[in-house]
Structure 1
Amino acid sequence: MSIVSIEPATPDRWDDLENLFGPTGAYGHCWCTFFRRRAKDHTESTTCDRSRRGLDNKEELRRLTHDGKVPGLLAYDENGPCGWVSVAPREDFVRLARSRTLRPADPREPGVWALVCFWLPPRRRRRGLGSRLLDGAIDYARSQGARVLEAYPVDTMGGRAPSSEVYPGTVEMFRRAGFTLAGHHTSERLVARLELKTD
């Protein structure tokens, strides 16, 4: 199966996003809100009330989508939605500003967008779909006037790692797309940046 299109997650595509993530909301009830919410506001999968796990996160993503804040992009093949990438202006991701390792050196730098997460159904992994989504995110950020696209990949040293650890993408994947490593280096995380040329 091949990708037919990569589209913004607009209100009319909420059902597609909900169906793609499934009942648990991708990565253990996260619903791709981890970087968008303060730690105290994010519903962790370890909450004691199993019936509430992730529901606040899901409602937050639904609200963002229906309020017209495009939280990311959906990939489609001939059978429907098949992948997701979270990309938006960096200021939308409040947790980045509070992070000890990922907070920007200049939080007021204009035109910076951030890519924080990929989600692929298990049967679609290791087929190059992540790289296609990355290309789509670059094109979309550029079309929205972004000057820089920033990401926070995991360095797998060329090996493999569980999908729950490489949700932000891998260093090699971003290198292939032309990103340079910038900022500070932690034991596992780097900041990758791509200058976007706009017409």
Structure 2
Amino acid sequence: MTIEILPATGGRFDDAETALDSGDGPACQCQWWLMTSAQFRDESRAELAERLRTETQGDRAPGLIAYVDGEPAGWVRVGPRTAQPRLARTRDVKTATAEPLDDPEVWAVSCFVVRKQHRGTGLTRSLLDAAVSFARDAGARVVEGYPLDPTVTARSANQLFRGTVAVFTDAGFDVVDRPKPDRALVALTLRE
């Protein structure tokens, strides 16, 4: 199995769509963290897809696409936390983070999608490692994640779009806080 992870740029929009074709990915288009609940509810799937297309054509890729043997197999959203405004309005983030909410050097890994046929292969960890490298190369000081802990509360694979605590801690992230027993805010300092 050959894995390659590349930025979701304009020329890879169709691959991003294929990678998101699992769980809630097709319906969400990885726009949840960018909008208010009312905005999200009022947008059609086509409108959400157009938002993602516009993002991929911007100056910074909104995420990364994992390819397994040349085929799109997974997705991770990674970028400045300030570019994902719902995070700053989310109680679990606001009350748990040690970082200023308006700091553009704090990046967030907020969403994973791994296509069903590639689950259980370690692809989420590969996506996380690539996301950290992407953030580091872009000048991030800290990378945060907001994973769930399925050892506390059982979750379906679809509900684990935030990732799991174990994947993050195995990658060197520290648990900053547990706003709820089955939720964590984790962080990795890349530079002081």
TM over 0.5: yes
Task: Kindly indicate whether the alpha-carbon contact (under 8 Å) linking 1:25 and 1:54 is maintained by their aligned counterparts in 2.
Answer: no
Structure number with higher strand proportion: 2
Q: 2:91 — aligned with what?
A: 100
Structural RMSD (CA): 2.2
TM-score (normalizing by structure 1):
0.86
- The answer to whether 1:137 aligns with 2:128 is no
Amino acid at match of 2:14: D
Structure 1 residue ranges without an equivalent (≥5)? 45-51
* Change in 2 beyond 3 A, CA 1:20/1:110: closer
Which residue of the partner structure matches residue 2 of structure 1? 2
Give the conservation status (yes or no) of the 8 Å contact 1:43–1:56: no
The partner residue of 1:54 within 45, 66, 71 is: 45
Q: Which has the higher helix share?
A: 2
**Residue deviations 1:94-138, cap 9 Å, x none?**
101111121245213351000001111101001111001111011
**TM-score under structure 2 length normalisation:** 0.89
Letter in 2 for 1:34: W
The alpha carbon displacement at 1:60 in A equals 1.1
Percent identical: 36
Which structure exhibits the higher relative contact order, with contacts defined as CA atoms closer than 8 Å and separated by 6 or more residues?
A: 2
Kept after mapping to 2: 8 A contact 1:25/1:31: no
Aligned residue number for residue 149 of structure 2 = 155
> Is contact 1:158-1:172 (8 Å) kept?
no
Structure 2 CA distance for aligned equivalents of residues 130 and 160 of structure 1: 18
Does residue 74 (structure 1) correspond to residue 65 (structure 2)? The answer is: yes
Q: How many residues align?
A: 189
| 1:1-199 → structure 2 map (5 Å cutoff) | 1-3=1-3, 5-22=4-21, 26-27=24-25, 29-43=27-41, 53-103=44-94, 104=97, 106-157=100-151, 161-197=155-191
